Structure 1
């Protein structure tokens, strides 16, 4: 399998996961996602979950369907989104909030290390070949 095929598969998988997570924000996992909204966010927790769900669906769809010439930009936008929501993961850890099976501080701490992986995934799966 060549590099382009692997990158395309990784990009589509990331996009599909973002779409699924976004749908979860709007439906079956809203309560779980509310556990990640920091107290300092000036919006209602449920509104924040809904808005971020719409953003995830849009980013996921863009990763899957955007023309090749825009992939690099969309990958950077997705990485920026993952960075922007990282304070929510920190809040879940520091406020000891359960959600998505993260019911211990050790599990919540381990989750923090996955966010940079998502950022790297977004960038590497969309960067222009050299």
Structure 2
């Protein structure tokens, strides 16, 4: 069961990473908090591209580096925590993206981030 969960997570991460680079780039920009681009010498598109590349690498690593599974799971969980402020910013700033066009939808989405963290940790532990 953990193997299936890990492979599904890996596939989802690669898919999400590709979507960052291609068809959902503008949608993901709505999740980049302004404080990030104010503090760093990077624009929202750069953040989206970089995070998409990280997602693809982590997803691929879950499959091709089985001996590092536990470490990759921890990195993936940390990644999910690191991008959570973007989900909060999207909710607070009322930015519509990915069909999240109501306050309720944006807030409900916040509750799924801990599920992703738990999924990454659980599926990569023996």
TM-score by length of 1: 0.92
From 36, 46, 61, the counterpart of 2:31? 36
After TM superposition, the structure 1 = structure 2 runs for residues 46-65 of structure 1, keeping only pairs within 5 Å, are: 46-65=45-64
Name 1:7's counterpart in structure 2.
2
Aligned residues: 122
TM-score by length of 2: 0.95
Distance 2:47 2:94 in 1: 19
Query: Alpha-carbon deviations, 1:48-97, whole Å to 9, x = none?
Result: 00000000000000112212x21110000000000000000000000000
Distance 1:101 1:66 in 2: 35
Conserved 8 A contact 1:16-1:64: no
Unpaired runs of at least 5, structure 2? none
Name 1:71's counterpart in structure 2.
69
Name 2:95's counterpart in structure 1.
97
Conserved 8 A contact 1:16-1:60: yes
Distance 2:51 2:101 in 1: 23
Distance 1:95 1:53 in 2: 22
- Runs of 4+ residues over 3 Å off in structure 1: none
What is the CA RMSD across the aligned residues, in angstroms?
A: 0.6
Give 1:32 shift: 0.5
Local SS of the residue matching 2:34? coil
Name 2:13's counterpart in structure 1.
18
Unpaired runs of at least 5, structure 1? 1-5
Conserved 8 A contact 1:7-1:125: yes
